[in-house]
Amino acid sequence: MTMTKYETEIVADEKVPTIEIIREFDAAPEQVFRAHVDPELYAQWVGPRSLTTRITRWDARTGGAWAFANDRDGEEIASFYGSFHEVRQNERIVWTFTYEGLPDGVALETLTFEEVEGGRTRLRVLSVVSDFEARDGMLASGMDVGVKEGYDKLAELLAKGA
């Protein structure tokens, strides 16, 4: 297992059905943002290490749409899709996020790329879902493993200058 300099924090609010994910990276906001909108880069880091990601649709602009599938040993095990509501260069992305297996469970996610001292970036992801049952189901699904391993892979990719 790769050791990381920064931990990924996942916070479930007790009062509203949200999940907030916070992670710092040793890279400028422009680099972290690019890794979220460039489909070739995104496919390299999103999700757990045990899976590969295949981008099936990607139009990273305000009003665009996206979709990807996760494969293990050549077999598709999950797929996701959504719409880019707002893409603000190097600052913010607002998108919907849906697991194809639960098409009624749409999350609205806001990603902010905050510059912090030393040329680093603090990424904040706020995911809002319809109710606590949906939120708790996401948390129980093992999504934390995919999120943490994915951001570790992103940190490694950024360290290589991506």
CA–CA distance, 104 with 42 (Å, rounded to integer): 25
pLDDT attached to residue 141: 86
Tokens linked to 160: 């290589």
Q: Please answer whether residues 155 and 4 qualify as being in contact, where contact means their C-beta atoms are separated by less than 8 angstroms.
A: yes
Bridge partners for 97 per DSSP = 107
pLDDT values of the chain reduced to their tens digit, one per residue, 162 residues: 444 579 999 999 999 999 999 999 999 999 999 999 999 999 999 999 999 999 999 999 999 999 999 999 999 999 999 999 999 999 999 999 999 988 888 999 999 999 999 999 999 999 999 999 999 988 988 889 999 999 999 999 999 986
Which pLDDT belongs to residue 2?
A: 47
pLDDT confidence of residue 4: 58
Radius of gyration of the chain (CA): 15
Of 118, 96, 99, 115, nearest to 107 by C-alpha is 96
Task: Return the ∠ at Cα 58 (arms to 52 and 61), rounded to 5°.
Answer: 135
Return the pLDDT at 1. Answer: 41
Instruction: Identify the CA nearest to 145 among candidates 153, 156, 134.
Output: 153
Residue 103: partners with Cβ closer than 8 Å, 6 or more residues away: none
Q: Could you tell me which residues come within 8 angstroms of residue 11 by beta carbon, excluding any fewer than 6 positions away?
A: 19, 20, 21, 22
Q: Apex CA 75: angle with CA 107 and CA 77, to 5°?
A: 25
- CA nearest 81: which of 72, 69, 92? 69
- Determine the pLDDT at residue 88: 98
Question: Phi and psi of 42, rounded to 5°?
Answer: -55, -45
Tokens at 109, concatenated:
């996610």
